[in-house]
Amino acid sequence: MSLVSILTLGFLLGIKHSLEPDHVIAVATTAGNTKNYHVPL
């Protein structure tokens, strides 16, 4: 296997994992619970 095909396979598997419903819910919950400490200048 070439490096490009390995990277492509890894990328596609990562996209597939990131779109799983339990992962989307976990990320949304975590993002919703974090406090925003950014102070506009």
Q: How would you write the pLDDT of the chain (41 residues) with one tens digit per residue?
A: 799 999 999 999 999 988 999 988 988 888 877 766 666 66
- Can you give the pLDDT at residue 26? 87
- Can you give the pLDDT at residue 39? 62
- Can you give the pLDDT at residue 11? 96
15 SS3 class: helix
Round to whole Å and give the CA distance between 25 and 17: 12
- Can you give the pLDDT at residue 15? 94
Length of the chain counted residue by residue: 41
Entry pTM: 0.56
